[in-house]
Amino acid sequence: MKTKGMAKWMLVLVACSVALSAVVMAGSHAKQEKDIVDTAVAAGDFETLVAAVQAAGLVEVLKGDGPFTVFAPNDEAFAKLPEGTLDALLADPEALTAVLTYHVVAGRVMAADVVKLTSATTVQGQDVRIDASSGVKVDGANVIATDVIASNGVIHVIDTVILPN
């Protein structure tokens, strides 16, 4: 049951990442009619995240009502993982779900609120560290785009895949 919940949150993360890229690429932060998953797919910068969300079985969760906040790693972030890491995660649905859900926070947390936090509890169950002292970092990953709105949440794009302890 915990694995299904984590997988669902990973899907939310992927969808949010795609949504953020789509909005950023369009130059708009206006409200989106698409859910997190559809927004991420349309963006084109989250192919790896979307594939991971699909592999973890989290698509329906991220298409759900939410709201969700996804700290979404783009394709470049996944490319920075050590060789073999992504393949190992894709081969281990439980570990993949844990990683994906570590990128998702329940609720719609806009950038203006994120900068006021020092941590946030993920749907995976662990807290991520938030540091807004010089730009915004989530567990050391730089937030490179914010407030990509989806119908069921918000996506903040990050430049590194963050891993739970």
State the SS3 of the chain.
CHHHHHHHHHHHHHHHHHHHHHHHHHCCCCCCCCCHHHHHHHHCCCHHHHHHHHHHCCHHHHCCCCCEEEEEECHHHHHCCCCCHHHHHHCCHHHHHHHHHCCEEECCCCHHHHCCCCEEEECCCCEEEEECCCCCEECCEEEEEEEEEECCEEEEEECCCCCCC
CATH superfamily of 2-158: FAS1 domain (2.30.180.10)
Domain boundaries, the chain: 2-158
What is the mean pLDDT, run by run of 10 residues, along the chain of 165 residues? 44 41 42 83 92 95 94 97 96 97 97 97 97 96 96 96 95
153: phi > 0 → left, psi -120 to 50 → alpha, else beta; which? left
Q: What is the pLDDT of residue 32?
A: 59
CA 105/CA 107 separation, integer angstroms = 6
Q: What is the pLDDT of residue 9?
A: 42
